[in-house]
Amino acid sequence: AQSVTQLDSHVSVSEGTPVLLRCNYSSSYSPSLFWYVQHPNKGLQLLLKYTSAATLVKGINGFEAEFKKSETSFHLTKPSAHMSDAAEYFCVVTPVSGSARQLTFGSGTQLTVLP
């Protein structure tokens, strides 16, 4: 069994300040972890993924996330928020092995960027 908990449903930051979106996971197997972004009326887009290689993962648009097994966390960060970062972000877990690797999505964090 696997699950994801996104600790904040809404996060608001000022433009130019750091972003932190928190995610904790639970998995019976070694997990692969992802962050997806969803802009209004657009499809989900992959930001970054962790698949048991380097624990610090860099993604698109300056985002990165660190896999911490001891804390079962995979928090998403960005040093400086931009207005275009305003969107909904989903943390996702799936087992590394298995034939039907169902993605389990968190409930999402809505990021607001204030001017």
Of 20-28, 55-63, 76-84, 105-113, the window that binds another protein (rule: CB under 8 A) is: 105-113
Cβ atoms 42, 111 nearer than 8 A:
no
Under rule CB under 8 A, residue 94 binds another protein: yes
Report the C-alpha gap between 95 and 102 in whole angstroms: 8
Structure tokens at 103: 């993605």
Three-class HEC string of 31-48: EEEEEEEECCCCCCEEEE
**What is residue 27's three-state secondary structure?**
strand
Q: For residues 41 and 70, which CB has a smaller minimum distance to another protein in the complex?
A: 41
Kindly state the smallest distance separating residue 115's Cβ from another protein, in Å.
Answer: 26
Q: For residues 42 and 70, which CB has a smaller minimum distance to another protein in the complex?
A: 42
Smallest Cα–Cα separation from 23: which of 54, 55, 63, 65?
65
Under rule CB under 8 A, residue 44 binds another protein: yes
**Which of 56, 70, 102, 115 forms a contact with another protein (CB under 8 A)?**
102
Binding site for another protein (CB under 8 A): 4, 32, 41-46, 49, 51, 90, 92, 94-96, 99-103, 105-108
